[in-house]
């Protein structure tokens, strides 16, 4: 099996990713897995949206360059539970196993698969609860008479007609009036 190892340290001030990578390499060696790639983000916060080496790892996962991803700890890999679960779902769809040494989660084992299933169920519950709160908030706003959605923008239908007569395209008219092409087309349909 080919494995990718991922390590991250938040600062370059005294933190060394070598402790993580050494343990990850030893784990892979014990399992008889070949290291297909090392991805190390150094001096990058876990809360950052863009992490160059993690982004590269995900791109290589889509290219099927390895069969497993091994990390030292969940929080070294993902910035949130939802980010972790999205990544795990991606790996599952690609047939890539995921191992976190500290949490002892290995999706190639029955116990690891069960833990992943439980995490997935928790994430689904969280998404459902968020969606219900959003719907309740919208109902409450409507009940209070609040207008929802983007505010309407007034357009001059006579000007649209004049611009069309001189051969302007829908898109050009929209740019000139500061509205989208669809808005121009809808307004033109009204006269």
pLDDT of residue 11: 67
Neighbours of 180 (CB within 10 A): 14
pLDDT of residue 89: 85
17-31 pLDDT, tens digit per residue, is 888 999 999 999 999
pLDDT of residue 167: 94
CB of 124 closer than 8 Å to CB of 116: no
| pLDDT above 50 for 67 | yes
Q: How far is CA 126 from the centre of its chain?
A: 16
90-141 pLDDT, tens digit per residue, is 998 999 999 988 877 777 778 877 877 787 677 677 778 888 998 998 999 9
Give the predicted TM-score (pTM) of the model.
0.60
Tell me the CA end-to-end span of the chain in Å, nearest whole number.
67
Q: How far apart are CA 172 and CA 159, in angstroms?
A: 13
- CA-atom Rg of the chain in angstroms: 26
Residues recognised as catalytic: 10
Q: How many angstroms separate the Cα of 155 from the Cα of each of 35, 54, 118, 124, 160?
A: 61, 46, 52, 43, 8
Average pLDDT value for the chain: 86
Q: How far apart are CA 28 and CA 1, in angstroms?
A: 9
pLDDT of residue 31: 93
Q: Which two tokens stand for residue 159?
A: 């000007």
Helix axes 81-94, 52-62, angle to 10 degrees: 30
pLDDT of residue 191: 47
Strands (E) located in the chain: 2-9, 34-42, 68-71, 97-100, 105-106
| pLDDT above 90 for 37 | yes
Domain 2-107 has CATH 3.30.930.10: no
Strands (E) located in 43-189: 68-71, 97-100, 105-106
Ordered by start, the domain boundaries in the chain are 2-107, 157-188
CB of 24 closer than 8 Å to CB of 68: no
């Amino acid at each position: 099996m080919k494995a990718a190892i991922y390590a991250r340290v938040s600062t370059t001030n005294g933190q060394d990713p070598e402790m993580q990578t050494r343990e990850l390499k030893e784990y892979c060696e014990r399992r008889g897995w070949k290291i297909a790639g090392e991805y190390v983000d150094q001096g990058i916060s876990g809360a950052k949206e863009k992490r160059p080496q993690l982004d590269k790892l995900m791109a290589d996962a889509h290219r099927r360059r390895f069969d497993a991803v091994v990390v030292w700890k969940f929080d070294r890999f993902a910035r949130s539970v939802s980010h972790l679960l999205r990544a795990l779902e991606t790996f599952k769809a690609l047939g890539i196993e995921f191992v976190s040494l500290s949490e002892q989660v290995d999706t190639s084992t029955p116990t690891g698969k069960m833990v992943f299933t439980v995490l997935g169920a928790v994430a689904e519950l969280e998404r459902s609860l968020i969606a219900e709160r959003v719907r309740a908030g919208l109902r409450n706003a409507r009940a209070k008479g609040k207008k929802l959605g983007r505010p309407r923008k007034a357009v001059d239908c006579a000007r649209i007609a004049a611009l069309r007569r001189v051969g302007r395209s829908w898109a050009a008219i929209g740019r000139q009036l500061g509205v989208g092409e669809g808005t121009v087309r809808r307004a033109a349909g009204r006269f």
